[in-house]
Structure 1
């Protein structure tokens, strides 16, 4: 009788273990399928880092937040080499240098939005993002008569929410694929080498308008790029505005079979 009870208990335990294993296998299979669906259905948003193009075109850009000491020199150098670029302006820079905003626009350069207070945009709510965009966007429009359509997030910090909000408000979110590292103040030649050795068709280069050596490195960079056959254009002329798709590196591609 004792052995019979033991056998029954053992059988019951084995049965329970088998049931648990079956449930575990079914659950794991289900969650794996759900994860696969999630990966393919919720595509991660990415900003524009560069553009796929057969043309030897690139864009250079200047982020302006903390000073104005070299801006006139930059504009004069760009005029000398007949180059048009893109300036991303923070709201408090616009407030401090409104006449410079007008001059940048009048000299034919893109005036892009770089936020109002230079925050980490991924930490903001949709309402806060809109405030950062609209406050500076409205100031730029008042000064230039043009609504900005390019936005560069401070620190290169973004998330899906930011890109979706920007898209709804007619902004293209712009990053870069070549960082000059001019803010590190390593000297002139390191900036020249870093940029000229890393550009490719469709590159977007990051500079800062108040970098210490900008008056020295900028002419050298432009001369080298032009010698290599690159045409330097504003970002608004480099990127595709419609009929495009993004790969996972942030490189923008023109949709095939469309003009």
Structure 2
């Protein structure tokens, strides 16, 4: 068996080569992780950790202001805070109601300015639509928002890029009440919600009168499972 003994400069050179190769692998590995992490951050969030006894309730608002006071009273009575995603045009039209929602301790998110189909817009159009809503909401509340919910859950890659550039995480849902649909009575809404898994869930609703009727029962039933209900931030902490 032939043994090669490296001495002096040869040993230093060989060690340097090994070190460079190792550094190269580390760079490639870290770079791949960064790309993966970036891709994951760009994906919309549909739910939290299903192993935790937590769930979030979101309410998308572009109409239904006449029902919101009733919903707020239910939430107050049940001692729960949720996330309201509001459009910019609604915020501009009903600033006092938006302020009341916020003053009651609820989280506010961006729902675009005029409830457009974001998947049909390019990146610049998406950016302007989200930014315009941000400015309208900030004008009323003076706060920086961190979550964006595309209207109707409609989005494209350009939407995610625009939202990310503006510092938003895009939020969708895992449970849809479909309360806007004709025939969605309180009982139908409850049935839809209770059929779904609730651990780590993001539940979507709208300010509809039947939703307001179903809400207190819905909250009680989910809490009976030992699940803590709250905002999107509560869920994702």
Shorter-normalised TM-score: what interval?
A: 0.7 to 0.9
Which residue among 210, 215, 228 is the counterpart of 2:212? 215
- Bigger radius of gyration, 1 or 2? 1
What residue number does 2:93 align with? 96
What residue number does 2:115 align with? 118
Distance in 1 separating the partners of 2:99 and 2:90: 13
What residue number does 1:85 align with? 82
Residue 132 of structure 1 and its aligned partner are, at CA, apart by 0.8
What residue number does 1:196 align with? 194
Deviations 1:137-164 (A, max 9, x none): 1121121121111111111111122112
Which residue among 180, 203, 206 is the counterpart of 1:205? 203
Distance in 2 separating the partners of 1:111 and 1:148: 7
Two-structure CA RMSD over aligned residues (Å): 1.9
Distance in 1 separating the partners of 2:198 and 2:84: 21
Question: TM-score, structure 2 length as denominator?
Answer: 0.79
List structure 1 runs of 4+ shifted beyond 3 angstroms: none
What residue number does 1:134 align with? 131
Residue 53 of structure 1 and its aligned partner are, at CA, apart by 4.3
Question: What secondary structure, in the 3-state scheme, does the structure 1 residue paired with 2:52 have?
Answer: coil
* Unaligned residue ranges in structure 2 (runs of 5+): 1-34
Q: How many residues are aligned here?
A: 200
Question: What secondary structure, in the 3-state scheme, does the structure 2 residue paired with 1:182 have?
Answer: coil
1:1-259 equivalence runs, <5 A: 46-184=43-181, 185-209=183-207, 211-239=208-236
